[in-house]
Structure 1
Amino acid sequence: MHTIHGKKFDLNLLLAFDALLRERNVSRAAEHLGLTQSAMSHALRRLREFYEDPLFVRIGDAMKPTPFAEEMGDSVLEIVSAVQHKLLAQASFDPMTSTRVFSLCMTDMGELVFLPRLIAELQKVAPHCRIRTSQLPSEHIVNSLERGDTDLAIGSHYIQNPNLFQQELFVHSFCTIISRAYPADELSLEEFLGMKHVSVVLSDSSSRYDQFIDELGHRREIYLTTPHFITVPMILEKNPSLIATVPSELGQTFLRYNAIKVIKTPINSPSLHLRQYWHPRYHHDPGNIWLRQLVKHLFDQYMS
């Protein structure tokens, strides 16, 4: 880092630097810290003056860190993490007064099935908190949790990392969905395998959600692969020759839109385990603890 030369430094500026490095956007960084945009701009100006470096340069809509800022990044993350999770480990979290923005990684399935319940509960018990969601490939989730960009990852992710904490929320099965225009309400195995299938794959490195069909040795035609659950019922509605096998809770949610009907999958499907994941760095963070407990409570209620 640059020599201080007797300059006075406000350690709060490290929080501003950390937020800017994460968000790459002045407005979102201000939102993350609960500051006004002008206050965040003022903090950035003070940082630039102190280090005699632009630190962040606007490119399009993003603020790209300079080489010096990137070099500082790991040191700042280490300092901020130490302050938040060692010195402030005993700090309390008051959901009624907190303005924290909780970041959740979940699929569009999670957003459709669970997010409305979480929002409704948060508005009652943490009225000033807000939520930001993201979808990430499985291979990027661990890094996002470690950096604090994501508070919790919720879903049926196949995250093979022994360093992450995880908690099972509930177990569900699969169902098959088909256009309401399809003339039958059940399918034989032969009919099922003879249809064209729509299959969801979240990223290039992920398995198909309905991979168990192939693993059991059944041959079928995958007509469409998509990373989005939410588009499937609209596609099936207009294409009665297509079929999809999805998590059962999602199938029940789709029924409300009257575009598809749910039928029994003519194959014994395995259980799908829904979990929440978090990083050890944030295991003792009061806000993260509170959020984990709230999520678990809502899922317990959902299944009861």
Structure 2
Amino acid sequence: MRFNKLDLNLLVALDALLSEQNISRAAEKIHLSQSAMSNALARLREYFDDELLVQVGRKMERTPRAEALRENVRDILVRVDATVAAQPEFAPAHANRLFRLLVSDYTMTTLMPHLFKLAYEQAPGIRLDLRPLIAYPHRVLERGEADLLIIPKEYCSAEHPTDLLFEETHCCVVWDRSPLAKGSMTKERYLAAGHVAVQVGDGQTAIADWFIERLGVVRRVEATTYSFMSPAYLLAGTNRIATMHRRLAEEASHSLPIVLREVPIAVPTMEQAMQWHKHRTTDPGLTWLRALLKEAVTAMDKARCNAG
């Protein structure tokens, strides 16, 4: 099919080329031979009257025209996929669809076990692909490489729909033999102690640490880690403090020598949300999955009450 003399099949090749910046990898991505992909690139260069990809040293880089095209081409393909490829209805009991979710290890530990149980009961044939969060996760959503993001509301993109899943508070966690495990946890003791903080990627701080920084509170960070659960495992034998999500801290306290204390500064409640691409709002499968996530939240909190 052609539009304004452009073979629309070339848009798929263009998207792969602009994403991979490598002819061989782009060909592999869309199941073409390398020669076919080279031919597609030649036709695209002729149509746009631009090199699109130029060799710089050992790699290919996008030209300014290619940079301008990249997001628009991806948006077109996502829109086409949402309109044409989406099934008109979704029958969970008979479905074998793959759903890709971007989640942190916090969500992996607290919510995902309940989602997996419910999904297995209602739709045993579906597949769930959990992928780690990265900086600027909405870009993965916009490239069509994920169906749902589960992230703090503050990190959601304003360009796509968002729905609140649940709220989370924070607490201090210390080794149960530390002096900090006894007496009042005052602001002075909190600030005087060494801290274990979480960095989620590219130097981006976790939401609790981000809130604390916004309050103008300066802590002495003595160690950093990339996992939200790991601070609880790094406190034994030290007088350090970790400021953790309360659900995670409670889970860790069942098996680790730690004590939970209240945070002596006003850390706002975290709002954990799910976000999906604006073109997929009416997708029946994603509508079902979003509702199932709400059920999973109810199950998670019920289990938490029973454990408490």
Q: Same fold (TM over 0.5)?
A: yes
Contact 1:192 1:266 in 2 (8 A): yes
Measure, in 2, the Cα distance between the counterparts of 1:273 and 1:185. 31
Unaligned runs of 5+ in 1: 3-10, 24-40, 56-63
C-alpha displacement of 1:53: 5.1
- The equivalences for 1:121-200 within 5 A come to 121-138=118-135, 140-156=136-152, 158-159=154-155, 161-183=157-179, 184-189=181-186, 190-200=188-198
C-alpha displacement of 1:155: 2.3
Are residues 188 and 262 of structure 1, via their aligned partners in 2, closer, same or farther at CA, if it must alter by over 3 Å? closer
Number of residue pairs aligned between Structure 1 and Structure 2: 271
Using structure 2 for the length normalisation, give the TM-score.
0.71
Tell me what 1:264 maps to: 262
Pair 1:44-2:31 in alignment: yes
Measure, in 1, the Cα distance between the counterparts of 2:222 and 2:289. 40
Measure, in 1, the Cα distance between the counterparts of 2:17 and 2:259. 47
Tell me what 1:295 maps to: 293
Using structure 1 for the length normalisation, give the TM-score.
0.72
**Stretch of structure 1 that moved more, 263-272 or 239-248:** 263-272
Measure, in 2, the Cα distance between the counterparts of 1:78 and 1:251. 40
Are residues 21 and 110 of structure 1, via their aligned partners in 2, closer, same or farther at CA, if it must alter by over 3 Å? farther
C-alpha displacement of 1:280: 0.3
Equivalent position to 2:101, from 85, 90, 104: 104
Unaligned runs of 5+ in 2: 3-8, 21-27, 42-58, 303-308
Identity of aligned residues (%): 28
Are residues 132 and 90 of structure 1, via their aligned partners in 2, closer, same or farther at CA, if it must alter by over 3 Å? closer
Please list the CA deviations of residues 197-249 of structure 1 after superposition, one character each: whole Å capped at 9, or x if unmatched: 01112123533433333443443211112221132122112x32211011111
Equivalent position to 2:83, from 68, 86, 89: 86
C-alpha displacement of 1:295: 0.6
Are residues 267 and 89 of structure 1, via their aligned partners in 2, closer, same or farther at CA, if it must alter by over 3 Å? same
Contact 1:187 1:266 in 2 (8 A): no
Which letter does structure 2 place at the counterpart of 1:102? F
- The equivalences for 1:7-22 within 5 A come to none
C-alpha displacement of 1:76: 7.9
- The equivalences for 1:16-31 within 5 A come to none
The root-mean-square deviation of aligned C-alpha atoms, in Å, is: 4.0
C-alpha displacement of 1:160: 5.2
Tell me what 1:229 maps to: 228
Measure, in 1, the Cα distance between the counterparts of 2:92 and 2:73. 27
